[in-house]
Amino acid sequence: MPAERLSMRKVREILRLKALRLSAREIACSLKVPRSTVSDHLLRAKAAGIAWPLPEDLDDVALETRLFIPREDHRPERPVADWRWVHSELRRKHVTLALLWQEYKDQHPDGYQYSQFCELYHRWLATLGVWMRQEHRAGEKMFVDFSGDGIPWVDPKTGELFKAELFVAVLGASNLTFVEATRSQKLPDWIQGHIHAFEYFEGVTHIVVPDQPRTAVDHPCYYDPCVNRAYEEMARHYGTSIIPARPRRPRDKAKAEVGVLLAQRWIIASLRDRRFFSIEEINEAIPEPLEKLNNRRMRKLGRCRKELFLEIDKPALLPLPQRPYEFADWKIARVNMDYHVEFEKNYYSVPFQYAHKQVDLRATKNTVEIFLDHKRVASHLRNWGKFTYSTLREHMPRSHQEHLEWTPSRIVNWAEKVGSSTAKLVETILGERTHPQQGYRACLGILRLSKRYSDERLEKACARALAGQSHSYRSVESILKKNLENQPLPQVSQAVLPLHSNLRGSKYFDYSHVSNEGESHVT
């Protein structure tokens, strides 16, 4: 049976984890896919000459094309070993799977090779529901969770009572524990806890084992949990991998469960009589009882957590990156017909060719990036207001770029070619707007009337509109349609004209000093 074809996102993760020297079994466990599928994709990558890191210009379509070249497979059926006999023989002293496989190959020369033989045996073994004690290797795993109970604190300004959550991280081999107070269990606080835990341990474990809370996993599932995109990105930054524990399987994360219990007894209980007025105050108080916990000698081992950490875990930890991870919020968005995507009620442009496409949006504190098929297509400074537009000129169609080339002075100069009354009306319309750009459409509409009615008629119509103080495109169009431009002009006293600071003269429209560069929004 052919292996399952994975999404290119998971294929990229397989290649990354393989570069970190994880085995196919560990990769399969991290991504919740069959090990045979992982092996198949690694073989395809090797055959195609693809290795991590991937070229920046290799998008998902090109990667899939290179990996999945159609091929025929006509392998015959192979004899299967008696797994009950294999299982019973393994209980005998000095008997190994390698020995039993060699005996199997002696009887069936065309049988399975050693790796597939072991895989089939372990699949059969999983059907027995065998429980196995977990053995933790040095520097391999960090177990993380939030404590169910928290520490109360009071806002000194309002007197409102809050509860600080406790983020707990425990190393698998030495049991060294890290605890930090956070405002909530939301994603930014969750990731911040990981960053501070790595800094506390002065290194990074190869694997991080969380539960499956909504914070860490978008879609909890026993077989195939979908890890949050930002959480996955943080793991890549630190060179680790995320392997969520199975739901309702506390033995998968027993270290975290014990760490939470100890945090409640050694930290929450010891601080129960203290009154706090901020999260910062709580985090200043936590290190003292935490150090007591980590330096406490364990009766069965006769040593403390800190001693075991320095001897076992610390030498095996991965080094910290040069800079800590900067939290980024990911969102799936669809490009609107105006080639902008929305994030937190602000709008950012992408090349107009991608209108109606579904894209990935990545937002940090300072930037917003848009990706299509794992390729960045746009980058903007982040806006923190509401309903603002960030539009890059190169993202616009040519017709929209030409629109930006219009300036008030250019429109007034064009109107002067028709006549002085036309130029005066255009100046008046632009001067009455808060921003001259708001009057562009009306002025251009008036000037285009000359193609339908002639320059002479348009000049007379504009003079009549000025005399009647009807400063709009509709008024000029109505005068021309009804042939009123040759009627006597109404006499308007100068005293009737309003005199106030909002009126602007023709000097206002000298835009020779104004730059046409910058951001704008074209509707």
- Residues 178, 297 share a domain: yes
pLDDT of 25 above 80: yes
Question: Are 214 and 304 in a shared domain?
Answer: yes
- Mean of pLDDT values over 12-40: 87
Q: Examine the domain organization and report whether 382 and 286 are in the same domain.
A: no
Are 90 and 97 spatial neighbours (Cβ–Cβ below 8 Å)? yes
Confidence label for 180 from pLDDT (cuts 50, 70 and 90) = very high
Is 401 among the domain residues? no
**What number is the average pLDDT over the span 112-139?**
72
Same domain, 245 and 145: yes
Same domain, 186 and 295: yes
Q: Are 308 and 349 members of one domain?
A: no
Same domain, 302 and 193: yes
Query: Per-residue pLDDT for 456 more than 50?
Result: yes
Least confident of 104-118, 128-142, 163-177, 387-401: 128-142
pLDDT band at 76 (very low <50, low <70, confident <90, very high): low
- What pLDDT is stored for residue 140 in this prediction? 84
Residues 181 and 301 in one domain: yes
Q: What pLDDT does residue 74 have?
A: 47
Strand, helix or coil for residue 285: helix
Q: Nearest Cα to 201, choosing from 35, 327, 320?
A: 320
CA separation, residue 75 to residues 2, 91, 111, 186 (Å): 11, 33, 12, 50
More confident residue, 58 or 284: 284
Q: What is the mean pLDDT of residues 483-502?
A: 61
Helix and strand element counts for the chain (H, E): 19, 17
**Do 269 and 375 reside in the same domain of the chain?**
no
Give the chain's domain count.
5
Q: What pLDDT band is residue 246 in, cutting at 50, 70 and 90?
A: low
**405 is a domain residue:** no
pLDDT band at 204 (very low <50, low <70, confident <90, very high): very high
The pLDDT of 252-275, averaged and rounded, is 77
Rounded distance between C-alpha atoms, residue 126 and residue 124, angstroms: 5
Residue 504: per-residue pLDDT:
52
Residue 520 lies in a domain: no
Q: How confident is the model over 180-190, as a mean pLDDT?
A: 89
Q: Are residues 476 and 337 in the same domain?
A: no
- How far CA 335 is from CA of 312, 340, 360, 370, 372, in Å, comes to 51, 6, 10, 10, 11
Strands 217-219, 151-154: pairing kind: unpaired
What is residue 518's predicted lDDT score, i.e. its pLDDT? 38
| Per-residue model confidence as pLDDT tens digits over 284-326 | 999 998 998 888 887 656 678 888 888 888 888 999 999 988 8
pLDDT in tens, 233-242: 888 999 998 8
Query: Where residue 490 falls among pLDDT bands split at 50, 70, 90?
Result: low
pLDDT at 129: 46
237 and 273 fall within a common domain? yes
Identify the CATH number of the domain in which residue 254 sits: 3.30.420.10
In percent, how much of the chain has pLDDT > 90?
A: 7
- The C-alpha atoms of residue 60 and residue 12 are separated, in whole angstroms, by 9
3-class secondary-structure state, position 390: strand
Q: How many residues does the chain have?
A: 523
Confidence of residue 496 (pLDDT cuts 50, 70, 90): very low
**Integer Cα distance of 508 and 497 in angstroms:** 19
The winner for highest mean pLDDT among 8-22, 79-93, 126-140, 503-517 is 8-22
Whole-prediction pTM: 0.52
pLDDT at site 437? 61
**E-assigned strands of 271-425?**
297-298, 303-304, 329-334, 340-343, 346-349, 358-363, 367-372, 375-381, 389-390
pLDDT at 366 over 70: yes
Establish if 390 belongs to a structural domain. yes
164 and 281 in a common domain:
yes
Average pLDDT, the chain: 79
pLDDT of residue 520: 39
Could you tell me the residue range of the domain that residue 52 belongs to? 8-67
Residue 200 confidence class, pLDDT cut points 50, 70, 90? very high
Gyration radius of the chain's alpha carbons: 35
Q: Is residue 508 part of a domain?
A: no
- Point out the least confidently predicted range of 64-73, 380-389, 447-456: 64-73
Contacts of 153 (CB under 8 A, 6+ apart): 161, 162, 163, 164, 276, 277, 278, 279, 281, 282
Q: Looking at the predicted structure, is the pLDDT value of residue 409 above 60? A: yes
